[in-house]
Chains A and B, each alone.
Chain A
Amino acid sequence: MIIRIMGEGQYRASEALCDELNQIDNRIVALVAEGKTEEYRAELTKLISEIKERGEAVEAEEILESDIIVPPEDLSLEEAKDVFSGSGIFED
């Protein structure tokens, strides 16, 4: 699966990694609904660092469309309400 982290490029993620990312994504949805800013920020940071550490960076020479778009790390809780709702950014 191709994941784009906004402003930071694209990564290839295995299915196993996507399953783990989906769990973090679901936690973020719950935290955003509860308005827990600090916990939400920590989970979003974790989601992004997991993709960077365990995904494989797509070379700049490749021109590909992404399957999933992950918002930037500085996304405010207010902005997150639009992004992390329902099933989040990863389909359950």
Chain B
Amino acid sequence: MGLISRMETVFKAKMNKVLNRMEDPRETLDYSYEKQLELLQNVKRGVAEVTTSKKRLQLQRAKLIQSNEKLEKQARDAVAANREDLARLALERKAALQQQVDGIDREIVELEKQEEKLIASEKRLSTKVEIFRTKKESIKAQYSAAEAQVKINESVTGISEEMADVGLALERAENKTEEMKARAEAIDELMEAGTLEDLTGGRDDIERELAKISTQSSVESELARLKAEAGKEPGKAKTPEEGKGPEEEKEV
């Protein structure tokens, strides 16, 4: 069923349910008003849901940006260590992460639009519900049951259409946030596990390699310092007077 047909069906069903419900048509006004208040509560919850989803995506984006900065630093370190292969790997992973960030940015924009529309819908419905409340009291006070029927039909028809529209907008927003939530949860789980391997491949190997290079280079520089303190030339054999055996030559 198409969206508009669905809306019309929902709206007519709501209207008929209200109009055919009570023996005294004036009672239908109170019933309709109750339903309106229920929907308003749902809309408020829906707006809160969209806002929560948006905040969650924003947090996730911040985490991904942090990971990106880390990869950038790794790439710099790798370049400094003359390891173009590692730098390339880090930059490839950074690009893959950037794609995730771009996707999240698009989703945030979409959620913001939905949030704005739902907030505006809530305000509109809220105003109409208040107007309806005033009208229903005036109808109940001024008209006999038979006379009230015409007035009631007018009011209920208009507000039922508004309710059907807001209800469907809420449903669409919920469906979208559900889809986004599922994707966000998958990324969250990967992040909590301390890795984004499924998105970017493991980073541990890069870190291990860089740590190895860093260890090697600090060992070499320490050794060079010690040798300098001892007044020895690297690779030069020690004299027997120094009370030591012949020194092994070391590759630096």
Contact = CB atoms under 8 A, between A and B. Distances in A.
B159 A63 contact: yes
Contact of B117 (A7, A60, A63, A89): A7
A64 B158 contact: yes
B165 A4 contact: yes
A79 B175 CA distance: 15
Interface in A13-59: none
A7 B120 CA distance: 9
A75 B162 CA distance: 19
Contacts of A69: 4, 7-8
Contact of B121 (A7, A74, A81, A83): A7
Interface string A52-86: 00000000111111100101101100010111000
B245 interface: no
Interface residues of B, number: 29
Contacts of B162: 63
A7 B172 CA distance: 10
Nearest to A75: B3
A66 B131 CA distance: 18
**Per DSSP, are chain A's interface residues mostly helix, strand or loop, or mixed?**
loop
Contacts of B154: 63
B169 interface: yes
B128 A71 contact: no
A82 B165 contact: no
A65 B157 contact: yes
* Of listed A63, A81, A89, residue having the most chain B CB within 10 A: A63
Given A4-B165, A60-B128, A65 B158 contact: yes
Contacts of B172: 7, 72, 74
Contacts of A60: 123-124, 127-128
Given A7-B121, A72-B172, A61 B131 contact: yes
B120 A83 contact: no
11 contacts: A6-B3, A6-B169, A9-B124, A60-B124, A60-B128, A63-B131, A72-B169, A81-B2, A82-B4, A83-B2, A83-B3
